[in-house]
């Protein structure tokens, strides 16, 4: 009988986590070499508007309403000079249009007043803007400034848990974010954010995920659990 005296559960699970991350990253690098936001924009200011509007709303819906908004309010000065009531008429088909109209005008006014009409590039400054929380700030940092910021939305949260990239103890977006940036190489974080979003949007959907056609079958924690359950059912 051989006694293993240097076994460390923490080290074992850390090694397993690293292997899972490595396999998932290798898959996405092959299957999705180009991954980027599906929001339409032509400058940082437009993206900031689009991301604020996208809260609890689909990118498709946001892309439908932003062209006239961008046309009529092309600069922070133009948006700052109007009223929430006017903006509401442009965005009435998105979720929570009243609040978002107020946020957009307030955001533009703060950009003009405090940031020389320029979208800031730090988390601390971005979250000062009305309508901008940690997730929105991380999107701007990642997409516009290519910083290693992981925005955790509903897709990233769901997919990272299902695949097994984060443990059950990560019950909040912030805890999930910290776990993901701990294991994903810094240079890949901006792209990895889109990998997880797009995978969650089109494959690992909230309802009826397409597990059978998923390229992570056999790596994903949920697929392994499902395979084990099927084996046990057959053996009975």
- Average pLDDT, stretch 36-60? 97
- pLDDT surpasses 60 at 60: yes
Instruction: Find the catalytic residue in 114, 135, 221, 230.
Output: 135
For residue 200, the SS3 value is: helix
Residue 200 CA, chain-centre distance (Å), reads 10
- What is the chain's length? 236
Q: Please name which of 225, 217, 222, 226 lies closest in space to residue 24, comparing C-alpha atoms.
A: 217
**Is 153 in the active site?**
yes
pTM: predicted TM-score of the whole model, two decimal places: 0.85
Listed in sequence order, the residues at least 6 apart from 201 whose beta carbon sits closer than 8 Å to its beta carbon are 155
- pLDDT surpasses 70 at 12: no
Nearest 5°: the CA angle 216, 163, 47 is: 95
- pLDDT surpasses 60 at 78: yes
Token pair in block for residue 65: 């309403």
**Is 135 in the active site?**
yes
When the pLDDT of each residue in the chain is averaged and rounded to a whole number, the result is: 90
Domains in the chain: ranges and CATH: 44-143 (1.10.340.30), 150-235 (1.10.1670.10)
Other C-beta atoms within 10 Å of 41: how many? 19
The residue whose two tokens read 């092309």 is: 74
Instruction: Convert the pLDDT of each residue in 172-211 to its tens digit.
Output: 999 999 999 999 999 999 999 999 999 999 999 999 999 9
Instruction: Find the catalytic residue in 100, 153, 210, 236.
Output: 153
- pLDDT surpasses 50 at 232: no
- pLDDT surpasses 60 at 1: no
Listed in sequence order, the residues at least 6 apart from 7 whose beta carbon sits closer than 8 Å to its beta carbon are none
- Average pLDDT, stretch 50-71? 97
- Confidence (pLDDT) at 234: 40
Instruction: Convert the pLDDT of each residue in 139-167 to its tens digit.
Output: 999 999 999 999 999 999 999 999 999 99
- pLDDT surpasses 80 at 79: yes
User: What's the pLDDT band for 223 if we cut at 50, 70, 90?
Assistant: confident
Integer Cα distance of 80 and 78 in angstroms: 6
User: What's the pLDDT band for 7 if we cut at 50, 70, 90?
Assistant: very low
- pLDDT surpasses 90 at 36: yes
120 neighbors 141 (Cβ within 8 angstroms) = no
45 neighbors 104 (Cβ within 8 angstroms) = no
- pLDDT surpasses 60 at 229: no
């Amino acid at each position: 009988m051989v006694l293993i005296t240097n076994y460390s559960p923490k080290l074992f699970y850390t090694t397993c986590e690293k292997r899972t991350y490595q396999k998932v990253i290798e898959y996405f690098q092959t299957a999705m070499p180009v991954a980027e936001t599906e929001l339409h924009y032509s400058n940082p200011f437009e993206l900031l508007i689009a991301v604020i509007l996208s809260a609890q709303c689909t990118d498709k819906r946001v892309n439908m309403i932003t062209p006239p908004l961008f046309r009529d309010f092309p600069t922070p000065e133009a948006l700052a000079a109007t009223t929430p009531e006017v903006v509401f008429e442009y965005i009435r088909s998105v979720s929570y249009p009243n609040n978002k109209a107020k946020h957009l005008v307030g955001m533009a006014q703060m950009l003009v007043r405090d940031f020389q009409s320029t979208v800031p590039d730090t988390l601390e400054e971005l979250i000062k803007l009305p309508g901008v929380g940690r997730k929105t700030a991380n999107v701007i940092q990642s997409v516009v400034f290519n910083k290693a910021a992981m925005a955790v939305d509903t897709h990233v949260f769901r997919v990272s848990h299902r695949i097994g990239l984060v443990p059950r103890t990560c019950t909040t977006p912030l805890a999930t974010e910290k776990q993901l940036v701990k294991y994903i190489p810094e240079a890949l974080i901006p792209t990895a954010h889109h990998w997880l979003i797009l995978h969650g949007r089109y494959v690992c959907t909230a309802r009826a995920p397409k597990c059978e056609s998923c390229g992570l079958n056999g790596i994903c924690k949920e697929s392994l659990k499902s395979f084990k359950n099927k084996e046990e059912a057959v053996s009975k």
